[in-house]
Amino acid sequence: MAKSRVPSSSLRSSSATGIALETGYRHIDTAQAYYNEEGVGRAVAKSGVARDELFLTTKVWIYHAGEKNAAASIDGSLHKLGCDYVDLLLVHQPFGDYYGTWRALEAAYRSSKARTIGVSNFYPDRLVDLCRFSEIKPMVDQVETHVFQQQRAAREVMDRYGVAHESWGPFAEGRNGLFANPVLAAVGAKHGKTAAQTALRFLIQSGVAVIPKSSRKERMAENFEVFDFELDAEDLDAIRALNQGESLFFSHYDPESVESMADFGHRVL
């Protein structure tokens, strides 16, 4: 791709981010592997929203693993985002030289290039590894979390080490018929809410930070309307029973999944 061209994914991201900021969103989650940091940066600059009102997250991909490579990629991400720091910087996957990558994140934290550092997709064993053998413990673990995969075992480990639990895919990207799930629909109807709002509220009440994904303004607005009701004990028990305890996307213990992620890094970065 010629350097003068803007990737279509970046253009789409700029538009979606702009709509989100207009709607009132202030937490923007991006990553090197999403190939849209430039688009997010343009949307933020165009929005006129003050930097200190935003919470920006980006992630270092496995293609940039290792202390030196990761450090250079962090500077590259900041340049693309058009800012001096990010609020949350994550190691995107627990593969490659993630020890070296983590040291680069520690350095970014000490130099104020990142206000918070953490990991993404780290299963409990890998999270304990970093917590026990690093100078600075991960502050956040962003993992697949939704009503069908509630990450109970992982959460116990996070709580033990004081790591905040953040969800990617809080709607499971619609899998398992989440938006029409009869349990979520029934609980939602009780409170005058949709199944999607009920799913978000469940995670929030469970102490999970959520980053719902949508490109439609009306859906973005709907996702905000989850702070004016509270699920009771009966509601919570009904939704907890939906837990299947396994990924609806991929397993990080599966060799083919790891190979696919490694190949993806070389294709797009």
Span 110-163, pLDDT tens digits: 999 999 999 999 999 999 999 999 999 999 999 999 999 999 999 999 999 999
Asked whether residue 257 is assigned to any structural domain, the reply reads no
Which are the contacts of 111, defined by CB distance < 8 A and separation ≥ 6?
A: none
Percentages (nearest 5) of helix, strand, coil residues in the chain: 55, 10, 35
CB 96 within 8 A of CB 70: no
Active site residue 34: yes
**pLDDT over threshold 70, residue 199:** yes
Asked whether residue 106 is assigned to any structural domain, the reply reads yes
pLDDT tens digit sequence for 6-37: 333 444 556 889 999 999 999 999 999 999 99
Asked whether residue 256 is assigned to any structural domain, the reply reads no
Are 77 and 171 found together in one domain?
A: no
Are 111 and 138 found together in one domain?
A: no
Name the catalytic one among 34, 63, 98, 123: 34
What pTM, to 2 d.p., does this model score?
A: 0.91
Sign of CA dihedral 129, 96, 213, 251: negative
Range of the structural domain that residue 42 is part of:
7-117
Are 135 and 48 found together in one domain?
A: no
Q: In the chain, how many domains are there?
A: 2
Are 216 and 245 found together in one domain?
A: yes
Are 82 and 108 found together in one domain?
A: yes
